[in-house]
Amino acid sequence: MTVRTVALSEERALLDLLPPTAPLAWVRRGEGLVAWGTAARLELPAQSERCGGGRFAAAAEWLESLLAGITVHDEVRRAGSGPVVFGSFTFDGRDAGSTLVLPRVLVGRRGGRTWLTVVGEESDPLVPAPPPRPVGGLRWSPGTVREDAWASSVARAVERIRGTELAKVVLARDVVAEATRPVDVRTLLRRLARGYPDCYAYSVAGLTGATPELLLRRTGDRLESLVLAGTARRGATEDEDTALAAALLDSAKNIEEHVYAVQSLRRALEPFCAALRVPARPELLRLANVQHLATPVRATLRPGVATLRALAALHPTAAVGGTPTPLAMEVIAELEGMRRDRYAGPVGWLDAHGNGEWGIALRCAHVDGRRARLFAGSGIVADSDPAAELAETTAKFHAMRAALTDG
């Protein structure tokens, strides 16, 4: 197998290049990667362990074998050039479906430079794509667990937290949309990128969304991460928005939730880092529909640390699982009442040199033909209120609901 990367003078928006069939994307503010076609693909079966690195180790083994059989001609030589795989891992290792894809055609753009990567022989890799289709009419239905039952699960989780060593658990729920025809994922990507430019609009094997949470960005030995935990809605006026932001920054419940997430990431990263820089206090990240407490983390990795190994150590963070993690995962399995599949798992890309960007698959839907299954979750601590947590998940559904709704 031969992979060639060349510089490109292409000026079209990255998302405009995507064909309708199985698009792959990781785009923020017009930069990133889009790709299509399948040169190689791995879909992993269920693993034996809920947490742990089994599926990440299996993916690393497959990738090492794949790269060993590739001849690379790379004229660009930067992060994201040469062979690149897109990936999406299940939240729970016992669920099948973690997927890696080596696309046949990729276009990347970063810092004013654009490049084209082709695997094998493609006579005309940039054939103009038909325009994205509107979604059309939708029929909405409850997800796996009804709202009242989910709120009851939140109340049970609060009781568990107050009565055991469990400090925090994240509970998620789903809703389902059924369209009259197959959903064009490119339509969702365009709407998400336009509405949430500071998020990473992604699509891998039907999982499509816009995540604000950067789990890991690696360039050489430098690593960055962004911890998000603690959420408030946006205000209808500037004064209300400011008041909500101030209340979020002063909220004991949200600060507690955020501290658990930061501590979780610090513990996971420390064994792999020569240097680790974590701010003492969170800042505010404002998105179109919600605002979050955010802590940007920067690190220098020790020599020889593989990216997928670091990724395995980071997942699941307290932001999507809980604290302590093993107990939180047991409570999720007991109380949540649904399979998350790849929701809240790592999603992103990785090149042959270990460079890559991986987010947590949030604000997303799994699109399968005419059906879209949307997910949202909330962090539960000792003083959580079930009605407030239900309202938080409803606010988080807004991004994908809007993306699915024709204006």
The pLDDT assigned to 11 comes to 85
How is residue 159 written in tokens? 């009781």
Do residues 295 and 282 touch, judged by C-beta distance below 8 A? yes
Which residue among the candidates 43, 64, 165, 168 is catalytic per the annotation?
A: 168
The kind and range of the H/E element at 227 are: strand 222-233
Q: How confident is the model at residue 231 (pLDDT cuts 50, 70, 90)?
A: confident
Question: pLDDT tens-digit profile of 247-258?
Answer: 999 999 889 889
Do residues 191 and 402 touch, judged by C-beta distance below 8 A? yes
Q: How confident is the model at residue 398 (pLDDT cuts 50, 70, 90)?
A: very high
The pLDDT assigned to 190 comes to 98
Alpha-carbon span 169 to 264, nearest angstrom: 13
The pLDDT assigned to 75 comes to 96
Question: pLDDT tens-digit profile of 260-318?
Answer: 889 989 999 999 999 999 999 999 999 887 899 999 999 999 999 999 999 999 999 88
For helices 252-269 and 307-314, angle between their N-to-C axes, nearest 10 degrees: 150
The pLDDT assigned to 52 comes to 73
The pLDDT assigned to 50 comes to 80
Active-site residue 396, yes or no? no
Q: Would the pLDDT of 205 be above 90?
A: yes
Q: Would the pLDDT of 241 be above 80?
A: yes
User: Is the four-CA dihedral 241, 244, 249, 254 of positive or negative sign?
Assistant: negative
* Cα–Cα separations (whole angstroms), residue 322 to 138, 265, 292, 385: 34, 12, 17, 17
**Is the peptide bond preceding residue 132 cis, with omega within 30 degrees of 0?**
no
Question: pLDDT tens-digit profile of 213-228?
Answer: 899 999 999 999 998 8
Q: What are the sequence ranges of the domains in the chain?
A: 2-404
Q: State the average pLDDT for the chain.
A: 94
The pLDDT assigned to 247 comes to 94
The pLDDT assigned to 35 comes to 98
The pLDDT assigned to 10 comes to 83
The pLDDT assigned to 106 comes to 98
Active-site residue 213, yes or no? yes
Q: What is the SS3 assignment for 237?
A: coil
What percentage of the chain has pLDDT greater than the value 90?
87
Which residue among the candidates 213, 257, 336, 392 is catalytic per the annotation?
A: 213
User: Model-level pTM?
Assistant: 0.94
Mean pLDDT in residue range 143-159: 97
At the fourth CATH level, the homologous superfamily of domain 2-404 is Anthranilate synthase (3.60.120.10)
The pLDDT assigned to 21 comes to 92
Q: Would the pLDDT of 51 be above 80?
A: no
Mean pLDDT in residue range 170-184: 98
Q: Would the pLDDT of 56 be above 90?
A: yes
- Looking at this protein, which amino acid is placed at residue 30? G
